[in-house]
Amino acid sequence: MSEGTAKKEEKPRKFQAIRGTRDLLPPETALWNRVEQTAHAVFGTFGFGEIRPPIFEPTGLFARAVGGETDIVSKEMYTFVDRYDRLDPSPTVGQLGDYFEKVKRLYEEEKIPKTPFNKIAVEEAQAIWSKIEPWLEDRPTPDAQIATFDRLFVFMDAMQLGSEISLRPEATASVCRAYIEHGMQSLPAPVKLYYMGPMFRRERPQKGRYRQFYQIGAEVLGGSDAPAIDAEVIEMVMTFFDRLELQGAQLDINSIGCRECRPKYVELLRAELLKVKDKLGPDSQRRIETNPLRVLDSKLESEQGIIAKLPGIADHLCEDCATHYAAVKHQLEMRGVIYRENWRLVRGLDYYMRTTFEITAQGLGSQNAVCGGGRYDGLVELLGGPPTKGIGFAIGEDRLILSLQESGKAPAPKGRDVYIAWMGDKARATAIRAAKDLRKAGFSVELPPVEQKFGKALGQADKLGARFALILGDNEVSEGLWTLKTLADGSQAKFTEPDLLEHLRKSL
């Protein structure tokens, strides 16, 4: 290892986390764990059970549930074609004909997706096959023809076999799929489920927004659409935030009507918007056609005055929706949940209806929504299940963590309970045994792998934030009395092995 020789060695290129993804590291992960454990605890008290659906699903599931026209599905999903594993991966020359026919048939039956790429591959393969077929009578195959055979392999191997799958951009669709797949409609209603984990959307990263991000969510499926269910779900999220001491949590609620009344309102809104079209910016002008409700959400200062004069949906709900909305508000009041009515609150996903809500928090920049949710009574049926009521929410965990950090609610990093400073071969064995026993008793223990002088060991103990140093040298081993030093004040005392455990239990 001389310095001179190695200096020109080429270093391998450094890898880095893919754009929009990141490593969560200690001590921050302690906060993540606290948040997730609090979710388990709080949701458990509301009778929710955890579901862990897969991280990818058939692309069609999200297209159907979230809406094929939404940005999420049309341009933000990570979609790829899976391998089709029922084809013989490496046919011999003799099997080539059968293999090609099989590929062609699967393509026609759309078991292999008809992507533009596959179309070209099949056509090329067909052209080559027409040329090869007459040659097959010649045995053995002349060398000059082998290259052409290889070209056929190349085209078939390059085909995007298998079905289209996507990394989940959200989890409600997966939960509904699982509800149907496992026949949960025959469970006592309603079925209350929660989940947590990574989601994926290919968006431009910014504060509180990542391409791999984390959500904690819950869904209530089946049973009735009783307003009390809406209220309880909201109460649960607020309880969760309260438990975490989230600062400045602001709950906004609204009702966006149902299949009956919403379309009528949307038309009314569109008509009103067209009257003031010239005064709106280009984004809002476009939305008059694509999604008039979203105009209400505009952040443009210049549009605020115009938007304020637009008709609100609350005045145009059908009787059932109006009754439901009023009852939800009443239920929230009975539970002591403080809310703000926000008639401009709309949801981006297609499946929402009636109750919608959003919770914002401090310290998040422009991405200040930390939770969004609502009712989606038609969704399970849309996915091929029985008619089923549904309501749920999703919390942006990254944003929640960010807000907790901004307001100083992150827990202080926890150091070791005990650092074992040992010297000498006899003490080594004792130290190993001590570490085992202390860890068994639940203490966080650092056992240095190699012998260190006591001065150095205590320095390490200090740096690692240890509460105590257990000093084990020749004296301790021969006396059978172990020295325990309290790092904070420098005091130390001697204990027998059992007394030590007892003493630590009391003081930690």
Partner RNA sequence: GUGGGAGUAGCUCAGCUGGUAGAGCGUCGGUCUGUGGCACCGAAUGUCGCGGGUUCAAUCCCCGUCUCCCACCCCA
Site for RNA, rule CB under 7 A: 3, 11, 16-17, 19-21, 70-72, 170, 201, 203-210, 213, 215, 283, 287, 291, 294, 297-300, 347-349, 358, 365-367, 369-372, 394-396, 398-399, 423, 453-456, 458-463, 469, 471, 473-476, 483, 485, 487-490, 492
Q: Looking at beta carbons only, is 78 or 153 nearer to RNA?
A: 78
Q: Looking at beta carbons only, is 81 or 458 nearer to RNA?
A: 458
**Rounded Cα distance, 113 and 58, in Å:** 12
**Rounded Cα distance, 86 and 416, in Å:** 53
Beta pairing class for 212-221 and 390-396? antiparallel
DSSP code of residue 383: T
Q: Looking at beta carbons only, is 279 or 453 nearer to RNA?
A: 453
Q: What is the dihedral of CA 349, 352, 354, 358, to 10 degrees?
A: -50
Q: Looking at beta carbons only, is 126 or 486 nearer to RNA?
A: 486
Q: What is the DSSP string of 225-286?
A: --HHHHHHHHHHHHHHHHHTT-TT-EEEEEE---TTHHHHHHHHHHHHHHHTGGGS-HHHHH
Under a CB-based contact definition with an 8 Å cutoff, are residues 250 and 363 in contact?
Answer: no
Least distance (Å) between residue 5 CB and RNA: 13
Half-sphere exposure of 383 (CA within 13 A, CB side): 27
Least distance (Å) between residue 310 CB and RNA: 16
Least distance (Å) between residue 157 CB and RNA: 29
DSSP E strands in 314-408: the ranges are 340-341, 353-360, 369-375, 390-396
Tokens 């341009």, residue located: 75
Least distance (Å) between residue 252 CB and RNA: 11
Under a CB-based contact definition with an 8 Å cutoff, are residues 418 and 467 in contact?
Answer: yes
Q: Looking at beta carbons only, is 190 or 373 nearer to RNA?
A: 373
Q: Looking at beta carbons only, is 122 or 485 nearer to RNA?
A: 485
Least distance (Å) between residue 349 CB and RNA: 5
Beta pairing class for 445-446 and 418-422? parallel
Which residues are 486's β-sheet partners?
Answer: 468
Which residues are 357's β-sheet partners?
Answer: 253, 373
Q: Looking at beta carbons only, is 325 or 468 nearer to RNA?
A: 468
Least distance (Å) between residue 156 CB and RNA: 31
Least distance (Å) between residue 78 CB and RNA: 13
Amino acid making up residue 286: R
Q: Looking at beta carbons only, is 205 or 411 nearer to RNA?
A: 205
Least distance (Å) between residue 268 CB and RNA: 20
